[in-house]
Homo-oligomer: A and B are copies of this chain.
Amino acid sequence: MTWQKLYNERVRSLTPSIIQEMRDLISVPGTISFAAGEPSSELYPVTELRSAFGRVLENSPELLAYASPAGDPCLREWISSWLYRKGYSLEEKGSDRILLTNGSQAGLNILSLMFLEKGRKIILEDPSYTEAMLTFSKEGVELLTVPMDDEGPVPDLFEKVVREEKPELYYTIPTFQNPSGISVSEKRKLQILDIADRYGVRIIEDDPYRQLWFDSAPPSTYLALSGDSENIIYLGSFSKIIAPGIRCGYALLPPEVMKKAMELRVLLEIGLSSVLQRSVFEFLSTSDFEAHLVHLREVYRSRRDAMVNSLNKNIVPHGMGLGVPEGGFFIWGRIPGIDTSEFARFAAKEEKIGTVPGSGFFAVPDHGSEFLRLSFAQVTPEEAEEGSERLARALIRYKGR
């Protein structure tokens, strides 16, 4: 009698992604990693957070009780007002539309548990975020894709898939996308919105990188461009701009969905930790958060510049093309004629340089066979130089095998 025999269809369908395999290869000491898709830990506002936690536990010990299934009302109010002030939402919705989540990933999962089931279809950008694809497909849905150009998903191809396959949902990471770094232009968003509207496709807009722009603020949100259409669910997160370990994401939901999401939340986990959430509120409302964001943008821009320079010098001459982003964490490399899954393993083992091959970001893995995701989030200029030299050496050796 083993538990394995009892796994349901969801668990039987789980397969470890190549990203996990790469993580193990990269954990070898001495490896330089261009793989980590997470913020740089020295940029966490540790001192401010420590004092925020101290004040919250001192003044509000009642937050150690069970919490509302929606999350801390103070933080929900702050987010609602911030989304409005920033123009991401045209109206101030009020906290009764904000569901706090254990990171954006938990938001994606809750939406999956509410809207996906066998027989349904969801359309994604090609490429898209690995864990989103796996989260959707574990619920038994079919993943459809739309190819991207520099401005985002190609409208004609989007319309063709939508017309022929009739997906219920479109999932998009419109700003500094993981993994491609692409931001969808305003014009393109209006075209996509028009098609989605005509064919009755609802949109999940996943926007965790929006604040991390380098030269100018990114195009407006799908939500605002749609005139705050209730066909759009907007997901945000503090993981990239405060710290992932506070596990603080949020979803802006239509009222009917909010009510059901709270009912479901009780069964998933009763509620989340109000101590964490109120401490995030305390940090946001007592520190100069805009100055913090300006600092993050400066640091990540200089890291992007350093890595792009080093890659241009060391590996571009050997045949790698670069998609250079205007924000976020990711450079999207392409090496025509090379199977990057094999090459990434080779580079990690032989030259101790970690990257993420493209195959994990495509619903059809072969579509990603020439791509490589290079993250500069945690990489100093010195590591960028040394790492891109290693990557170039690896490529020369790999081609010469």
Contact = CB atoms under 8 A, between A and B. Distances in A.
Contacts of A115: 3, 6-8, 11
A270 B61 contact: no
A16 interface: yes
Interface string A1-29: 11110111111001010000000000000
Contact of A273 (B46, B67, B246): B246
A202 B3 contact: yes
Interface in A195-231: 200, 202, 230-231
A154 interface: no
A266 to B, nearest CB: 6
Interface in A116-165: 116-117, 120, 131, 134-135, 138
A244 B7 contact: no
Nearest to A57: B50
Nearest to A239: B66
Contacts of A230: 2-3
A261 B260 CA distance: 26
Nearest to A266: B131
A95 interface: no
A245 B64 contact: yes
Interface in A236-283: 243-247, 254, 256-257, 260, 263-264, 266-276
A114 B267 contact: no
B276 A64 contact: no
Contacts of A341: none
Given A246-B275, A273-B246, A8 B116 contact: yes
> Within the oligomer, what is the number of copies of this chain?
2
Nearest to A11: B114
A360 to B, nearest CB: 13
A27 to B, nearest CB: 12
A102 B263 CA distance: 17
Contact of A267 (B134, B202, B268): B134
Contacts of A64: 41, 44, 46, 49, 243-246
Contacts of A7: 114-115, 260
A350 interface: no
A105 interface: yes
B44 A54 contact: no
A109 B269 contact: yes
A245 B276 CA distance: 9
Contact of A168 (B6, B120, B135, B200): B6
Nearest to A44: B64
A138 B257 CA distance: 17
Contacts of A254: 2-3
Contacts of A396: none
Interface string A42-79: 00101001100110011001111111000000000000
Given A38-B66, A46-B61, A246-B64, A106 B6 contact: no
23 contacts: A1-B202, A2-B256, A3-B254, A6-B115, A6-B168, A7-B260, A10-B114, A14-B260, A14-B264, A14-B267, A38-B65, A41-B62, A46-B64, A50-B54, A66-B244, A102-B272, A105-B267, A105-B268, A106-B269, A131-B270, A245-B274, A247-B273, A273-B273
